[in-house]
Amino acid sequence: MIASIELRKLTVDFDSQFQLCDIDWQIQPGQNWMITGTNGSGKSALAAVLAGAGDHVQGELSGVPARVGVVSYEAQKELIEAERRKDDADILDVISEGTPVREIIDAVCVNPLLADQLIEQFGLGQLLERSFRKLSTGETRKVLLIRALTSNPDLLVLDEPFDGLDIQSHKMLHEHLTSIVGKTPMVLVLNRFDECPEFITHIAYLDSGKLCHQVSRSDTHAYNELYQLLHLKTSDLEVPAADPVSVLPALDPSEPLVRIKNATIKYDETVIFHDLSWTIERNQHWQLTGPNGSGKTGLLSLITGDHPQCYINDIFVFGFQRGHGETIWQIKQYIGYVSTALQWEYRVGTSLRHVIISGFYDSIGLYSKYTDRQRDIANEWLDLLGMRKRADEPFNKLSYGDQRLLLIARAMVKHPPLLILDEPCLGLDDMNRQRVLALIEKICAGSETAVLYVNHHPEDTIEGIDQYLTLV
């Protein structure tokens, strides 16, 4: 059991854009904490301080153990960037195949028996020799969890540990964390109040880099007040109108948006799915579900044209038969898209306003001269998201959740015939999650956009979605 961890009047700089201010916080033996707050409040920053991040400006930090197991979006990004650097190394004479999953896990593992158990429970056994960078988002998350849990940590700092996990993996992780209560103290960063495990004893609420509330779970009144604060819903939401000038070429109303016949995705001898047929009609709204690795992202990329196997399958999209001379941009102009993969790629430092405007041009960054009307529409979206005063800030300085909100606005800005939302609520706090779900419902209630919604959380139902496809 570790001694108390204490932060006394601690101020920490992370960059010129963000600072944790005057933090007084104590984690006592036997306590397990949940850190929560709105997007950009400093939740992840406070957790990162426990892992050694940030520049200490003033105050004191004491009692942090030497071995801290960390799972976070930043840790995930660092591993991905490390693999990318291997590709960029000029000294290599051959193309790097990337580090196998087994090596990624073994690099920090000190409990191989537990590693083997978690690998089996997470269903990663057949992926141990696969390159880490070829994993799906959910599979990557599982690898990080196994690394943290098997490193014999004296403290676990888990930033959104359940995000990206399918229902079975979510349940298994919850059970494992419950089993180590009393052995390893835990600090969990959670946007979703409904994911707060029973073993959490205390809750810290941040706002604008300040620790505003510290609540014991046994204090029922204070706990309920904090719960209500995080479940505020915005009423009377209106989606900004489309640009009347940026009109897409008309589609044949007699043809479906998407028709896939007997499609197969496989890698060597590994078949992801086989003989899959699917039709998306105009104005239909679909929910796509399935466990990690079942092929959800692969299926989406067949539609968007980003998967190399789309040309060897029978796929008809927006009037084009794939592989018959169409360009990828002829397809993408009809699609609004939000995914974790897009967020990894959108690393440019362009302004928030320009991120939204780039949705008119389907570009990563903005390289075209935009109109006054497009600028006004972007400003309307920023107003809706409560970010108008931050319009000129760089996108890559935003928190993960704020970045996701901007990319959702970017996807919706042109009112596309097909809006693909690949786990759009990933990384969002309750207030923003409810806002996003309300916006999706608004779109579903209209007649111009079909919604394809990928989701792991059954409670995140959307009124208007009545078509379902489940991959196994």
Domains of the chain in start order, with CATH, are 5-230 (3.40.50.300), 258-470 (3.40.50.300)
Q: Is the pTM of this model over 0.85?
A: no
DSSP-derived letter for residue 388 is G
Nearest to 182 by CA among 30, 2, 33: 30
293-297: long-range pairs with CB below 8 Å, 24+: 293/123, 293/127, 293/136, 293/138, 293/139, 294/471, 294/472, 295/265, 295/471, 296/422, 296/454, 296/471, 297/136, 297/137, 297/339, 297/341, 297/422
- Token pair, residue 275, equals 């003989």
| The dihedral formed by the CA atoms of 176, 181, 186 and 189, expressed in degrees to the nearest 10 | 60
Q: Strand order in 68-71's β-sheet?
A: 68-71, 155-159, 186-189, 33-37, 202-207, 210-216
**Which pLDDT score, from 0 to 100, does residue 230 have?**
67
Residue 369 DSSP label: P
Handedness of CA 115, 121, 122, 123 (dihedral sign): positive
Q: Which residues contact 87 (CB under 8 A, 6 or more apart)?
A: 95, 96
Cα(79)–Cα(243) distance, rounded to whole angstroms? Answer: 40
Nearest-angstrom CA–CA distance, 151 and 5:
20
Does the CA dihedral 68-71-73-79 come out positive or negative?
positive
Which is nearest to 411 in space by CA: 198, 403, 153, 398? 403
Closest CA to 172 of 328, 291, 318: 291
Q: Let me know: does 311 contact 331? Beta carbons within 8 Å.
A: no
Give residue 232's pLDDT.
41
Is residue 314 within 8 A of residue 276, CB to CB? The reply is: no
CB atoms within 10 A of CB 71: 25
* Sheet with 314-317, side-by-side order of all strands: 270-280, 258-267, 314-317, 320-321
- Determine the 3-state secondary structure of 465 from DSSP: coil
List Cβ neighbours of 228 (8 Å cut-off, separation of 6 or more): none
- Binned average pLDDT, 10 residues per bin, the chain of 472 residues: 89 88 96 90 94 93 94 88 71 67 94 96 93 87 95 95 90 96 95 87 92 91 72 56 86 94 92 96 93 91 90 92 82 88 82 93 85 95 86 89 87 91 81 73 80 84 90 90
